[in-house]
Amino acid sequence: MLKKSLNLFIMLFLVFFIYNTYIKKDKEIKIEFNNDIKTTNIIYNFDNYKIKAEIQTNEAISKKEIFEQTLAYFKTSILKGNKAEIDKNSNMVLRGNIKGTNSKNGWELETEELKYLAKSKRIIGNRRLTAINKEEDLKFISDTFNTNSDFSYFELIGNIKIYHGDSIIYADRAVYSEKDQNLEISGNIIINYKSQKKMLIGKFTKLNYNLKKEILISNLAYKLEMNNYTLSAKKFYYDNIKQVVIAEKDVKIYDNLKNLEMSKINYNLNNKQMIMIGEIHGNYEDFSFIADKGEAFIDSKELFLYDNIIINKEGNKIYGDKVIYNEENKKMLITGNKLRVELEKYHLISTLVEYNLNKSELQVPNNFEMLEKENKIEIYGNKLLYKIDTEKGIAEDITIINKNNKATSDNIFIDYNNKKYTLKNNVNLKNDEYRIKTDKIEMIDKDILYIPNEYTIINEKGNINGTNAIYNDIDKILLSDEKSNLKNDEYNIYFLKYKYDLKNNQITLENIIGENFKEKIKFRADNGIYIQGTNDISLKKNVEIDYNNYTAYTEKAIYNDESKLIEFPVKAFILSKDKKLKGEIYSGEIDLNNNEFLGNKFIANNEKSKILSDEIKYDIRNEIAYLNENVKYTRDNIEILTNNMIYYKLTEYIDSPEPIVFKRNNIKITLDNAKINLNKKIIKGENPLFTTINGNIIKGNYIYGEYYKNEFNFYNGLEAKIIDEKTKNSITFEGETAKIYFTTKGDKQELTRAEIKDKVDFYYKNLYLNSNYLELDNIGKTVFSTGESILEIDKTDKISSQNLEFDINNEIAKMKENVKIFNISKESGDVNTRADEAIFNNTLNKIDLSGNVISYKGDTKILADSGIYDLKQNKLYGKGNIAFTFDIETLEQKKNKEKNEKKNIEVINKTIEKIKIPKVLTEKIKTIDLKKRDGNVIIIWNSSNKNIISKYGEVNHPKYLENDEVVILTATYKLYNTEIKKEYIVKVEKESKDSYINGKILETKFDIIDNKLIIENKDLSYQFKKIKKIDDNKNIFENEFEFKLKYRFEDIEKEIEYKGYKENKKIEIVGDIQ
């Protein structure tokens, strides 16, 4: 130490000598000597530094060297203080207003006390330190410190403040190294950056600060306050130059309203952009989220999230690929290829969603899919705006699927709180069974559809048009109380109220007005059920059905589309359009296939007639009624009873294959195969039994009567019994034909006269009259007979004449022309008497003879002018010019004559057996063979209707629209003087429908005017079809042309091909008409 002190002293002395000798002006050196040695303006050199002081004091007792106003010079730095104490080891304690500088590195220190340790060359301070480096813009403040002599290293302890740039760092401990420009900071570190651009306050336990790069690094947990945010993490990196903060490991960012957690964050303080990396968990005031990455812009208060994003707000979740959230307006823009929003009651899928948290509103500007969870309702559309809080929304271009229902519309209004979806504008709802078109549908409580406006329900079976309907999807029931309309290929139905059961394809209707186009049916009813799948319909209450000029009224009707039946299970009332027919049935049906009406317990009324029957089958097209069982027809004062009747309404014609009873007032006719023309008042039939109430009976094989003319014709097998109402006597007659005349008297018909022809047998009491023609005058009670008439009296006497008049009441017969009387009684023998005239009185049994009376008996011949023949006494009383002659035919001559007559009859009968005339002439029979001669037998023919069968055998069948005809052919067979007449009754059938059509086809008229074909057929409808050289408008292009006509009549169609020649206007059929 001494050596060092001497060396130091020598050095100081040399310095002092040079300074005082050459530099300093002379000054007096003052040395004071006491117990302590004081030296002024002293300079000491130590190993690592030198001291320059104004006063040096060496304390004798403490052995201390004290320097005042001291400057300590180190290699690159200077320390200045009020006092310095230097111990024997050159350790220096500097006190009072200490300032240190290093001009080389720019450091300046201020403190109140420090200690320099010479050995370690360290400066230690336990008093508050302030260290400033203006060049580095760096400032340290600490309670204690440790540094080196050139201030290139600082160790700061206690209440540290580090100022660098615009930052302040508070810490418990810090280590500064000038070599690597690094600060290691620890213990309750607080960083505070303050500027107009940024604010950063941090709390760390350990921090590394690279001052050159201006980078702060920490690998321990810390907390950082920046721009009203708090950041905590376990790893910190801050680049002050780039203004970037990087935080890693358990990173958390939060403020009063939000909290974010992630793996790493990059925060750019310049643009205030925060990049978040790793799975981010965030909680904002209004929502929370998860994302793989994110960005936050502090100034714009925007948050960007990327990849695997989940936004959660009050249980509502949004899954997306990208989110932009504006904290100020609280709007969130979410995008993603499969963006999904899971609300409490909905799933929403789209690529873009705007979420306004202020308004609790979701907005989707493009396509979206929406699924209501509870009811599995799917909504697809565009431009969705949905209020989450009120659960209401709107959207466009909508497709909504609910169970089996799929609907589209231009707009939708969602009100989930009330469980209602309202579809508007161009609404189309579809399912497997039907489609609804309207401009508004409200889906209520998942299973209820309300359709308030006009709509159309469409399916393959038809459409329903209406207004204001409700659909229950659980029960599959559609209800409406408004006027509606159902329309398909078959039906057009209007109704005021309906219930549509889609499970059973059943529509219950009220107040119905409808039409079946296909079957040409119109109907009305209070109620009805329409089966959508089968097109069946049942009608109830006040039912009205129009079909083919008829209207049915009933309380219930059922239409079966498959069988084409309209059933009437209850009483029905039938009315023709012309109101000429009013019918009633207990039950029945309309067979549309066969165009027939069938009924039970039929009652028909019109202005003229009434019909009753147990059963009816009515041919509607041809207007023919087939009546069965207990048939009763009444009209005016006629009544017809039968078990089988055919009634032709158009012609007012009745036909019956079974026996009928015809009644008119007191007349009753029972007959087979009856035909009655009600218009012409004609009755025809076989085996007639004609009776009157007073007991008159007329029989025959056939009857033809004009009953309103009171004229009846009987043919073959005539038998009649006529009773005189006054005397009760009866007359009977038989014959081949008869014409009976009646007259109307009051409410009954009285027989006035009768004409009987051919083989007439007349009976009255004991009288028998045989004639070929007999006329009965029932009013005058007179019988007239012309031609050869034979009156037989008591089977013994016969009177023949050519003219006979019999007064029935007086029983007197007047005979004229060739009167012959034959008496064949056994008592008198054969007596033959002739006269010009005779009057027979049956009461007196006498004959009054006049004019050329001749009487024969045996060989006796009596001639007289007149006489009386008393049949009772067998006496002839002659008067005037009586003469007796014998002119008697020999017995042989008489026998020969009778023999010849008998032979002639046998020959004629053989001829009659040969002649075969058909009883029925079918359509194929056009002629019959009416022979004129058979051997010597001459045959003369007459026809009752020459227009149908001529006397030459030509047959003209009645037209199809007419009725069959009955013709009586009369054949007169003659052989010499013998003559026999025979009648043949022939039924001539009408032509077939096919023949009728063929005939009408041939009646088609053609003409060519101005190169255009003109076609006319009044009876048949037809359809024109071009073939060659003619167009659809019938314009002809060349001379030869071809075409087809498809004719139609009732249910028959025939297509005929034609070839035409324009020049000669000739049209001919190609081929044959089939």
Reported residue count of the chain is 1074
* 494 and 460 belong to one structural domain: yes
Residue 575 belongs to some domain of the structure = no
Give the position of tokens 């000054």: 27
* 979 and 1022 belong to one structural domain: no
- Tell me what percent of the chain is helix, strand and coil, each rounded to the nearest 5: 5, 65, 30
CA–centroid distance for 437 within its chain: 11
Residue 85 belongs to some domain of the structure = no
- Among 485, 501, 517, the domain boundary falls at 501
Closest by CA position to 509, among listed 551, 554, 464, 473: 464
Please say if the pLDDT value at position 882 is more than 70.
Answer: no
pLDDT for 31: 47
pLDDT for 26: 41
Tens digit of pLDDT for each residue in 815-858? 888 888 877 554 555 567 788 888 989 888 888 888 887 776 65
Whether the Cβ atoms of residue 365 and residue 359 lie closer than 8 Å to each other: no
Whether the Cβ atoms of residue 346 and residue 375 lie closer than 8 Å to each other: no
Confidence of residue 132 (pLDDT cuts 50, 70, 90): very high
Rounded to a whole number, what is the distance in angstroms from the first to the last CA of the chain? 160
Whether the Cβ atoms of residue 730 and residue 723 lie closer than 8 Å to each other: yes
- Among 988, 1008, 1041, the domain boundary falls at 988
Q: For residue 595, what are the contacts with CB-CB under 8 A and spacing of at least 6? A: 548, 619, 620, 621
Confidence of residue 594 (pLDDT cuts 50, 70, 90): confident
User: What radius of gyration, in Å, describes the C-alpha atoms of the chain?
Assistant: 72
Residue 929 belongs to some domain of the structure = yes
Mean pLDDT of all residues in 859-879: 73
Element of type H or E holding 10: helix 2-18
Closest by CA position to 643, among listed 660, 664, 666: 660
* 969 and 1005 belong to one structural domain: no
Q: Give the SS3 label for residue 4.
A: helix
Q: Choose the most confident range, by mean pLDDT, from 77-91, 197-211, 456-470, 566-580.
A: 77-91
* 382 and 427 belong to one structural domain: yes
Confidence of residue 19 (pLDDT cuts 50, 70, 90): low
* 1056 and 959 belong to one structural domain: no
Residue 756: count other Cβ atoms within 10 Å of its Cβ.
27
Structural domain of 942: 891-988
Q: Which residue has the higher pLDDT, 864 or 96?
A: 96
Task: Please state the domain count of the chain.
Answer: 4
Inter-CA distances, 467 with 284, 464, 480, Å: 50, 10, 7
CATH code: domain of residue 429 = 2.60.450.10
Tens digit of pLDDT for each residue in 302-327? 888 888 888 888 888 888 888 888 88
pLDDT for 401: 83
Mean pLDDT of all residues in 434-456: 82
Please say if the pLDDT value at position 482 is more than 70.
Answer: yes
Residue 149 belongs to some domain of the structure = no
Q: Which residue has the higher pLDDT, 587 or 15?
A: 587
Closest by CA position to 863, among listed 880, 841, 845, 888: 880
pLDDT for 885: 44
Residue 463 belongs to some domain of the structure = yes
Tens digit of pLDDT for each residue in 698-753? 888 888 888 888 888 888 878 888 887 777 888 888 888 888 888 888 778 788 88
Mean pLDDT of all residues in 1037-1047: 92
Please say if the pLDDT value at position 1059 is more than 90.
Answer: yes
E strand residue ranges, 828-892: 831-841, 846-857, 860-870, 875-879, 883-885
Residue 487 belongs to some domain of the structure = yes
Inter-CA distances, 128 with 111, 113, 143, 718, Å: 6, 8, 4, 167
* 917 and 1035 belong to one structural domain: no
Tens digit of pLDDT for each residue in 555-574? 998 888 888 888 889 988 88
pLDDT for 1041: 94
Residue 922 belongs to some domain of the structure = yes
pLDDT for 1057: 93
* 491 and 389 belong to one structural domain: yes
Residue 958 belongs to some domain of the structure = yes
Residue 82: count other Cβ atoms within 10 Å of its Cβ.
14
Q: How far apart are CA 376 and CA 61, in angstroms?
A: 104
Residue 780: count other Cβ atoms within 10 Å of its Cβ.
14
Tens digit of pLDDT for each residue in 888-914? 455 666 677 778 888 899 999 999 999
Tens digit of pLDDT for each residue in 778-807? 888 888 888 888 888 887 778 888 888 888
Mean pLDDT of all residues in 913-940: 89
pLDDT for 973: 92
The model scores a pTM over 0.85: no
* 385 and 477 belong to one structural domain: yes
Q: How far apart are CA 416 and CA 418, in angstroms?
A: 5
Closest by CA position to 1059, among listed 1046, 1045, 1049: 1045
As a whole number, the mean pLDDT across the chain is 83
504-514 per-residue burial string, b: 16 or more CB within 10 A, e: under 16: ebbbbbbbbbb
Q: How far apart are CA 6 and CA 809, in angstroms?
A: 214
Q: For residue 460, what are the contacts with CB-CB under 8 A and spacing of at least 6? A: none
Confidence of residue 966 (pLDDT cuts 50, 70, 90): very high
- Among 471, 501, 531, the domain boundary falls at 501
Q: What angle do CA 39, 43, 46 make, to 5 degrees?
A: 120
Mean pLDDT of all residues in 511-521: 85
Query: What's the CA dihedral at 638, 641, 644, 649 to 10 degrees?
Result: 20
pLDDT for 97: 93
* 406 and 472 belong to one structural domain: yes
pLDDT for 194: 66
Please say if the pLDDT value at position 686 is more than 50.
Answer: yes
Please say if the pLDDT value at position 477 is more than 60.
Answer: yes
The amino acid that residue 603 corresponds to is: I
* 966 and 1047 belong to one structural domain: no
Mean pLDDT of all residues in 45-59: 86
* 439 and 476 belong to one structural domain: yes
* Percent of the chain clearing pLDDT 90 (strictly above): 12
* 409 and 456 belong to one structural domain: yes
Confidence of residue 28 (pLDDT cuts 50, 70, 90): very low
